Amino acid sequence: MERELHAKIISRNANSEEVCASAARISTTAGDAHEIFERAGGNPKNRGLIEKVLASGHKSLIEHAVFTIALRDVSVFVEQFLIECRLASFTVKSRRYVDFSHLGYYIPPELEGEDLDRYRRYMNGLFEAYGELLEAGVPREDARFLLPYAFHSNFYCTLNARELGHLLCEIRYGRGRDIPELQCLAEELTKQLETQFPCLLPEIRPVSGNLTAVEAHPLRCSAQAPVYLSRQKAGTVALLNVPTEPGKLLEAAWRTQYPGGGVPFSLEALLESSRPRELEQLAYTFTVSNISLSGLTHLVRHRMQSIVVPSIQSVDHSKFILPDSIAADPARLERYQRAVEAAHAQALRLHEHPSLEKYHYYFALSGNLMDVMTTMNARELQWFIRLRCCNRAQWEIREIAVELLRQLRPGFPALFGRFGPSCFASGRCPEGRLSCGQLEEVVERFRALS
């Protein structure tokens, strides 16, 4: 089932070195932007200039170099590590729509003998159970809760050179330093940079010459038997911090945007604006307790937030989500619980196998649960709620979004009373032929939400 992991730079902007060298010269060199770029073409001093400016601490110039990386058959654990880069863009193969039965999983190269056999049996058993649930009619978005965090992910990542350098430093000297799979990816990317953008290489080093401390993440199993949480108990939202006078903040931001009072303030005008930057002045902090690792992927892909996510290495192997599509059918429930109980029993015994225990994060299931905390401004909340309250959204993240909106409305009903899925907020459904066909019912439900 395993294939060689691979991270390949498949695209970068043309003349990236000349562009960055031009950016280094623009503030101190005579001539306009076009002339400076023309003179940079073929200039042998470009690379040295870039490295000199970077060494002086001015890093923004390399933000003009942009790379797209294709990641093939890396573990979903690696996907989660990378996707936390807030200044990168990701497009991931969906576990809601694609059958992952035969897409394989990552195997640490050092495993051999009985440890390798035990690892394979564990992973194969979960993939087998996943396939059986699909055959029994369980939706892919629910069967995926059995997929172990070693399963292969494929995705694209686009980021600028400054963020790429930060990511490689974080892998080599920070949180990823003890993850062999990440080290292999960093080595592959560094080798490609040697020919494609070598001026970044001096930036891939420890800060101040010191290695960042790596936090220990021992295996966590808090219970001797699996603990199942239904969809009603998982994904609990708690709103922690809100602006004290949000209406006044919005009006002050509006007055700043339109000085002189020529444009009167109103929420209607603000929300109809194509650039409602005023909403970004309102910050809301909330926690989500017991969100599944699968559900977490839907939350973290929203880039404009400040989110605190524990490492997957610290996940509790004893806590599992139980979706309705499985709980309601005795045969499906028996198969799901049998797979979960077998996985949990193996996790409890990992300490007997040190070579496996250090890779315990690959033994986590997509249905394991954790707590996260995040802060979003009202503009991002508007987008998050519009997308995630839609009937087409995955049910776990949809219920989180609906509950969050329910808690936001009492504090500022004039604003959040207008928030909801697209059909409610704008009166139209953008899903086309994929529409749920229940526009009137959905609109009425969100009018009455309290």
Question: Is residue 110 exposed (0-12), middle (13-18) or buried (19+ Cβ within 10 Å)?
Answer: exposed
Residue with tokens 């890396």: 74
3 state SS of 155: strand
Query: Across the strands, what pairs with 320?
Result: 228, 368
Question: Is residue 280 exposed (0-12), middle (13-18) or buried (19+ Cβ within 10 Å)?
Answer: middle
**By C-alpha distance, which of 366, 331, 395, 396 is closest to 127?**
366
Catalytic residue status for 406: no
Structure-token pair, residue 391: 């009937």
Residue with tokens 């077998």: 342
Q: Between β-strands 306-308 and 369-377, what pairing exists: parallel, antiparallel or unpaired? A: antiparallel
3 state SS of 189: helix
What are the two backbone dihedrals, phi and then psi, of residue 108, each rounded to the nearest 5 degrees? -55, 125
**By C-alpha distance, which of 224, 257, 163, 194 is closest to 347?**
224
Catalytic position from the list 25, 332, 335, 388? 388
Q: Which residues of 40-79 are buried (b: 16+ CB within 10 A; e: fewer)?
A: beeeeebeebbbebbeeeeeebbebbbbbbebebbbbbbb
CB of 366 closer than 8 Å to CB of 147: yes
3 state SS of 251: helix
Catalytic residues: 388
